[in-house]
Structure 1
């Protein structure tokens, strides 16, 4: 079976990609956020994953309001990035873990998840920015990827409970995979933020800390709120926490917190990063 080494949870704000492109990691505005990735870089050097399973949300590059799947799983040999209009450099394609993708898809369908299977899938900043943060270098491609997109845009939105169940089903699929790949799980987006309307710039530190405090120890606590509740608590884009919830489900029951970082604001967003190691009884490293 696949060996799940850990999970990386991070914001994916497009402006982060712009800061990387301009080499602003040590700029006073950006440094507190980028410093949160130093422990992740050290951990990845030791963990040496082969595959990244990435729970994220598409922002219109691949899906739009006229066709918005609730859950979509990539099954491509490679995934192309494209210009989203943010001024970010277009990255070269990411290699896909195609056989593992199909195994996950088959397990999800057998587990009665109605998903969209994508043999051709374009990926946006919600996937490219976290990978660039984790493995600096524009041409760095140390892992193959399995992208899993969750609808966080078009109502009705999937419930946090359903997203956690999705992640747990992915975990089951990884346990039944015959390969020996070392897998890192990503959950991207958030935390609290709203980009438009009367509450533009809204941040809820209390809810963000509730999510970070419970993600490892008690992810079911994050499902006590409905999707609409989360929009109220965390802003219309704060619903991206469901990507974190699904990714946590994919890690299995036992994790160990290695590091966390919380910094506000980054481009009107509560920017956060967490690293959880898989397969150990829960404890917290200060």
Structure 2
């Protein structure tokens, strides 16, 4: 049977990908960040998941205002790297797991989640930066990847509660898969950051750390946080944190926190990282 071995929450700041791609990870600005990520990379190297489900948001790359799925599941055998305006990142093509993806789709839809199923899609930094943080610069990604794309760009995004409940349904789907594979789930995005307007560059360390405490020990307290609170406390892009709740919903009620890291600034944002195992 499929086994959910752990969950990783991580920001997916595009500048992190650029630092990796251009060999800047050892520079004084970037070294503290990559030192803080190293325990997560070591965990991945030790446990070697066969499949990573990466919950992320597209940044008007694959999806634009002509098509805005709330939850989109990547069903393909391969996913090309999107050109976000400066050429595709020099990272390996992402390989999917169509058999597992179709199992997840059937289970989620029969569990009353209306997923958009996408057989041909590109993936942008929202998905590739977490993979680079976990695996560095391999010639090929050492796992299969199922993209789970969430709309947090065009209002209205899904609520935290809806995301958490999707995570629970995803766990039921994983547990019912009859192949012996090890699965890791990534919740990506956030933490506090705003990229435009009068509050561009906003970060909120105190709120981020409090949110992480609740996320680990009492996630129910986060499920009814409204969009307005995220906007006020974490900036216009902080709503991405709801995607972490899909990961948390997939994990057991009680988890072990193996690693936590929070760092400001990363570009003009706050970076957050968690590694969790089921208790």
Q: Tell me the TM-score normalised to structure 1 length.
A: 0.94
After the TM superposition, list the runs of 4 or more consecutive aligned residues in structure 1 that deviate by more than 4 angstroms.
none
SS in structure 1 opposite 2:64?
coil
Match of 1:97 in 2: 97
SS in structure 1 opposite 2:171?
helix
Instruction: Give the distance between the partners of 2:63 and 2:224, measured in 1 at CA.
Output: 28
Instruction: Give the distance between the partners of 1:37 and 1:173, measured in 2 at CA.
Output: 29
Is the contact made by 2:92 and 2:141 (CA closer than 8 Å) also made in structure 1?
no
SS in structure 1 opposite 2:85?
coil
Is the contact made by 2:71 and 2:149 (CA closer than 8 Å) also made in structure 1?
yes
Q: Which moved more, 1:159-168 or 1:78-87?
A: 78-87
- Taking only aligned residues, the RMSD between alpha carbons, in angstroms, comes to 1.3
Instruction: Give the distance between the partners of 2:246 and 2:87, measured in 1 at CA.
Output: 30
Instruction: Give the distance between the partners of 2:91 and 2:106, measured in 1 at CA.
Output: 30
Match of 2:75 in 1: 75
Is the contact made by 2:50 and 2:182 (CA closer than 8 Å) also made in structure 1?
yes
Shift, 1:219, TM fit: 1.5
Q: Which runs of 5+ in 1 are unaligned?
A: 281-286
Instruction: Give the distance between the partners of 1:87 and 1:193, measured in 2 at CA.
Output: 25
Match of 1:176 in 2: 176
Shift, 1:241, TM fit: 0.3
Is the contact made by 2:82 and 2:124 (CA closer than 8 Å) also made in structure 1?
yes
Instruction: Give the distance between the partners of 1:90 and 1:45, measured in 2 at CA.
Output: 22
Q: Which runs of 5+ in 2 are unaligned?
A: none
Residues 190-242 of structure 1, C-alpha deviation per residue, up to 9 Å, x if partnerless?
A: 10000001111111112211221122211222213112321222111111101
Instruction: Give the distance between the partners of 1:214 and 1:35, measured in 2 at CA.
Output: 25
Task: Say yes or no: does 1:211 pair with 2:211.
Answer: yes
Instruction: Give the distance between the partners of 2:265 and 2:88, measured in 1 at CA.
Output: 20
SS in structure 2 opposite 1:27?
coil
Task: Say yes or no: does 1:61 pair with 2:61.
Answer: yes
Task: Say yes or no: does 1:115 pair with 2:111.
Answer: no
Match of 2:4 in 1: 4
Instruction: Give the distance between the partners of 2:275 and 2:21, measured in 1 at CA.
Output: 24
Shift, 1:174, TM fit: 0.4
Match of 2:106 in 1: 106
Instruction: Give the distance between the partners of 2:195 and 2:44, measured in 1 at CA.
Output: 32
Shift, 1:120, TM fit: 0.8
Shift, 1:254, TM fit: 2.7
Is the contact made by 2:195 and 2:237 (CA closer than 8 Å) also made in structure 1?
yes
Instruction: State how 1:132-211 maps to structure 2 within 5 Å.
Output: 132-211=132-211
Q: Tell me the TM-score normalised to structure 2 length.
A: 0.96
SS in structure 1 opposite 2:108?
helix
**Count of aligned pairs:** 279
Match of 1:50 in 2: 50
Instruction: Give the distance between the partners of 1:48 and 1:93, measured in 2 at CA.
Output: 19
